Chains A and B, each alone.
Chain A
């Protein structure tokens, strides 16, 4: 069942997005499993550098759609360019990095191409003779094994961190120009500007110790023992998204895909379940401690040490134990 695989790469200022490289690895893996071949596509304006970076991986070819009208991303522009290219090349699979940009437009591209749509893949497996995929469900509390029924193209996105760039097969291939001459590229919105989010812009990236709280803390008025712990450890306080959304802490304390990325020596995740969007922001931490009342919380699969129980009982005890150890 040799498959033709395309990987659509996201780039910025001539550099491939980290997750684009991971998507190439996923493409190579899928090609290996199906005896297929992989080609990559780079869209934008002035993307020669990104295309040649892509050409340093083992691929059949890198297609470059270098066009002024693709200089600013809009779903309309990207969909019009890709729909034309994909319709004529007819790959079996088109892979996207599961970035905020891809997720903004690739479902709609799938609709337009009448293709199957498979978001957020973390594993693929052809060992049963049928291609099966894994993806997180229920905020990462469970993993689903899925298949794609029926005939025809499938568009799928590859979740962050699921395929390691260390596993990439290097190579060298030709960069070819995608012919967009007969393709009208139509923007469907206007980019007015880009802004940084959040109040005081606390920089958590340099913190050596981070005490991170999640929804499990239960409210802005229940933060005393968290603050005490942070003070004892000389730590910065960080948070998962719902804590910020609920207004319990300011937005510049958010850790995760939409917030800050941290890499402390010690990360304490307190009442945080461990959804992928949170994990991408803290997985470079050296030592992770999780405190959660749910023994099945996915945070325990990435933590080094875990304590199962009510954080409001454990934190006062922990603060006391730290004081004792220091005495």
Chain B
């Protein structure tokens, strides 16, 4: 199978977040970025399926220059080619604007399967893959926890997560779009050999013009959604914070749980 995997680079969840000057998003200076968690699982699933079926993975990412690191990592892990949608015009798009651009890039090639993560850890629209499937006119499934290619290679058996610890098993015909959920597999680590090989693998850069897209149809200009501001939760709301050294804090916590909350 030829498989396209879409990955996004997002701020590291461990990072200390600071508000940007205009209050509309984070201050990205010195902010560490990583591959979005569920996208890492999508990439692993793509690589494993490509190995099993004798195919290859082409990895796509939309974002600024820093995204090169994510693509290089994907190549080191085993993707055979990287496509970088790199254009100021693509910036700050909602799920629909981003899917429009990804569709234009993906449909220049031919694939049996497109994988994305199920939700980005930054804006979290959980929609880009589904909208992309709409553009392609392919069936899709969100929150995929298992993929099996059926005999004959015409259809997939897919495990989909439902609420409260239940899964449903569905069959969908190929080609299809699957939005992979974290936990589906155990992502591999890059080997030294993989990292060396990555350097010689093809990497393509695409602008909106390369894709025949009007700049007004992508990015912020092509989006209905606009983020006006972002804010941290109100401080002071919620927990009574217990101060002191670990020993002092532990002692007074136990006291409070015994005498105030009466749960110990």
Contacts and interface: CB of A to CB of B under 8 A. Distances in A.
Given A290-B239, A305-B242, A322 B131 contact: no
A95 to B, nearest CB: 16
A89 interface: no
Secondary structure type dominating chain B contacts:
mixed
B123 A241 contact: no
A120 B123 CA distance: 10
B241 A116 contact: no
B165 A193 contact: no
List 8 A-B pairs, minimum CB-CB distance, nearest first: A245-B183, A107-B127, A306-B239, A116-B224, A111-B134, A317-B250, A303-B239, A301-B238
A181 interface: no
Interface stretch (B51-59, B68-76, B77-85, B166-174): B166-174
Interface residues of A, number: 95
B140 interface: yes
B261 interface: yes
Interface in B232-264: 232-235, 237-242, 246-247, 249-251, 253-258, 261, 263-264
6 contacts: A137-B230, A195-B166, A317-B249, A318-B253, A322-B254, A325-B254
Interface string A118-160: 1110000000000010011111011111111110101000000
Contact of A188 (B139, B240, B250, B256): B139
Contacts of B226: 146-149
B174 to A, nearest CB: 12
A185 B256 CA distance: 59
Q: Which of A132, A289, A303 has the most CB of B within 10 A?
A: A289
Q: Which of B96, B130, B143 has the most CB of A within 10 A?
A: B130
A135 B127 CA distance: 15
B17 interface: yes
Contacts of A316: 246
Given A138-B122, A257-B164, A258-B163, 10 more contacts: A100-B142, A111-B134, A119-B124, A189-B141, A190-B170, A301-B233, A304-B239, A306-B238, A307-B250, A322-B254
Contact of A119 (B125, B140, B186, B250): B125
Given A100-B143, A103-B142, A137-B123, A305 B257 contact: yes
A11 to B, nearest CB: 14
Contact of B165 (A99, A196, A215, A302): A196
Contacts of A108: 130-131, 133-134, 140
Contacts of A118: 224-225
